[in-house]
């Protein structure tokens, strides 16, 4: 495991801070998440899985896979990839005994490598079953209760109510372009984005990166868009009204200031797409990352993700990522996953090799690698617009269930639009173009 700092000499970083990781001080920089700071210091095991206690590292680095749950500041099950570092912040791995690095409960994975049906094990005699139930609870739990426990139920978050002309959900290429277009047309636009920094998939793409993300966000702000980061639109409630007498239907948004009940004359969903894994043995090992997570490490955070990465995927993103990694000094192996197949990741708490099957070969061969970047087609994040009534359809070429909209982004639901990867994965450039077009159509819809 590398002990040195993996941060590259660029880009400019935030002020240095110190993270308290299981009793040790680790260097971090403001602007990094806990997961990124730990990775940069060579720590890849962030947690242990439920039941089999397999080691877990982050996968998506985007808040959507749940692989990075840690105990942070005395609270369990916090997503390390979404938690900003702070000086002195205490971070621990959870769900392990005696430690996340060495977990004796991982014996379950060793002894039951073909699976364990704990419902039918040791059901008698009664005393043995009682012991078994205790062990199962220990294996199956996730985290311990918080250090600080108030006497009663925690207070409900503050609630505010807001109405705007246009609500845009998602601060990636499509959402930013649509919002800027609308604001230039004189519309009042509120854009909510769950990430700490706007830019979405720009920040994961080596050909775009921070400059493209900042440019798009600056243009939107300059046009008059109100942009709230770390604000997750959690649900559409069709039956609730923000106040008595108002028409039903509101968007619940979790912000750092509390819960926002948001209504709008028009809605635009630009919620992007989720990273997917590929099917191969041990694809859950630390060091198997979504390619866009690798792109974020490199392009947003200036961290060399690995010295011998293997990039799995045949599309243009895999090509762009492989080139960027090579330019950063890595020795890259490319596997298209079609002609040459990736059969298995090798390694326990750290990927050390991959087993490949070349075209026409009868036997697999191994290649050394310290990282597997999986460039599988991302799946449209269509749940929220679907709650709002927007129809979706299965489009395998678009990554999954995509919103059905016309060429202007209009859905079958009046005044509800969608644009970008949520309408079928298309990548940053095409998403931006679609967002602009949806913005123009939305602006026209007011006249």
Which parts of this chain interact with ligand FES (CB under 6 A)?
A: 58-68, 79, 81
Compare residues 170 and 242 and give the one whose CB is closer to ligand FES: 170
Are 200 and 172 in contact by the 8 Å Cβ rule? The answer is: yes
How far apart are CB 33 and ligand FES at their closest, in Å?
8
Question: How far, in Å, CA of 34 to CA of 90, rounded?
Answer: 10
- What contacts 297, CB < 8 A, 6 or more positions away? 36, 39, 61, 303, 304, 305
Q: Name the helix (H) or strand (E) containing 261.
A: strand 258-269
We find the least distance from the C-beta atom of residue 179 to ligand FES, in angstroms, to be 25
Name the minimum Å distance from CB 339 to ligand FES. 30
Measured from the CB atom, the residue of 166 and 288 that comes closer to ligand FES is 288
Give the residues across from 254 on adjacent strands: 232, 259
Nearer to ligand FES, 179 or 374 (CB): 374
CB of 275 to ligand FES, least distance (A): 8
- Of 58 and 425, which has the nearer Cβ to ligand FES? 58
Taking the C-alpha atoms of residue 447 and residue 445, their distance in angstroms, rounded to an integer, is: 6
Least Å distance between CB 359 and ligand FES? 33
Q: In angstroms, what is the minimal distance from the CB of 276 to ligand FES? A: 12
Return left, alpha or beta for 195; rule: phi > 0 is left, psi -120 to 50 is alpha, else beta: beta
Which residue matches tokens 């209760």? 145
- At residue 382, φ and ψ (nearest 5 deg) are -100, 5
Question: φ, ψ for residue 397 (rounded to 5)?
Answer: -75, -15
Provide the strand spans (E) within 42-179: 47-48, 55-56, 69-72, 75-79, 90-92, 159-169
Instruction: Quickly list DSSP for 182-209.
Output: HHHTT--EEEE-SSSSTTGGGGG-TTTH
Buried b (16+ CB within 10 A) or exposed e, 327-362: ebebebbbbbbeebbbbbbbbebbbebbbbbeeeee
Contacts of 156 by beta carbon, 8 Å cutoff, 6+ apart:
none
Element (H, E) at 25: strand 24-29
Q: Compare residues 289 and 356 and give the one whose CB is closer to ligand FES.
A: 289
- Name which of 68 and 179 has its Cβ closer to ligand FES: 68
Contact 354, 372 (CB under 8 A): yes
Closer to ligand FES by Cβ: residue 79 or 341: 79
Residue 104: CB minimum distance to ligand FES, A = 26
Q: Which is nearer to ligand FES, 190 or 294 (CB)?
A: 294
Q: CA torsion angle for 161, 166, 172, 176 (degrees, to 10)?
A: -130
In angstroms, give the least distance from the CB of 58 to ligand FES.
3
275 or 370: CB nearest ligand FES = 275
Nearest distance from C-beta of residue 347 to ligand FES, angstroms:
19
């Amino acid at each position: 495991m590398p002990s040195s700092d993996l941060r590259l000499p660029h880009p400019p970083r935030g002020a240095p801070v110190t993270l308290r990781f299981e009793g040790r001080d680790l260097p971090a920089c403001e602007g990094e998440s806990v997961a990124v700071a730990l990775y940069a210091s060579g720590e890849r095991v962030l947690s242990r899985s439920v039941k089999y206690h397999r080691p877990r590292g982050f996968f998506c680095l985007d808040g959507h896979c749940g692989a990075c749950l840690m105990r942070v500041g005395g609270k369990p099950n916090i997503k390390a990839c979404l938690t900003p570092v702070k000086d002195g912040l205490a971070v621990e791995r959870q769900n392990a005994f005696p430690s996340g690095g060495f977990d004796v409960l991982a014996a379950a994975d060793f002894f039951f490598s073909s699976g364990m049906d704990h419902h039918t094990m040791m059901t008698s005699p009664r005393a043995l079953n009682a012991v078994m139930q205790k062990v199962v609870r220990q294996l199956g739990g996730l985290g311990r209760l918080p250090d600080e426990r108030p006497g009663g139920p925690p207070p409900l978050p503050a609630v505010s109510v807001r109405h705007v002309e246009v609500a845009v959900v998602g601060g990636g290429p499509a959402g930013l372009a649509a919002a800027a277009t609308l604001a230039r047309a004189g519309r009042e636009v509120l854009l909510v984005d769950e990430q700490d920094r706007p830019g979405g998939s720009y920040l994961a793409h080596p050909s775009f990166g921070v400059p493209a993300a900042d440019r798009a966000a600056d243009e939107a702000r300059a046009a008059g868009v109100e942009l709230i980061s770390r604000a997750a639109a959690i649900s559409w409630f069709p039956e609730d009204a923000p106040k008595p007498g108002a028409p039903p239907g509101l968007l619940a948004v979790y912000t750092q200031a509390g819960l926002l009940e948001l209504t709008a004359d028009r809605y635009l969903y630009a919620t992007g797409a989720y990273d997917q894994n590929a099917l191969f043995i041990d694809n859950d090992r630390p060091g198997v990352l979504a390619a866009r997570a690798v792109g974020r490490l490199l392009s947003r955070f200036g961290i060399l993700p690995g010295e011998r990465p293997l990039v799995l995927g045949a599309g243009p993103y895999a090509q762009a990522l492989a080139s960027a990694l090579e330019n950063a000094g890595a020795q890259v192996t490319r596997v298209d996953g079609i002609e040459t197949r990736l059969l298995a990741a090798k390694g326990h708490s750290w990927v050390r090799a991959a087993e490949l099957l070349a075209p026409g070969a009868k036997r697999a061969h191994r290649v050394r690698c310290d990282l597997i970047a999986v460039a599988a087609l991302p799946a449209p994040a269509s749940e929220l617009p679907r709650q709002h009534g927007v129809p979706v359809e299965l489009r395998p070429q678009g990554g999954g269930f995509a919103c059905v909209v016309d060429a202007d982004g209009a859905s079958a639901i009046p005044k509800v639009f969608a644009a970008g990867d949520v309408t079928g994965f298309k990548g940053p450039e095409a998403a931006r173009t679609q967002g602009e077009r949806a913005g123009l159509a939305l602006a026209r819809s007011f006249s």
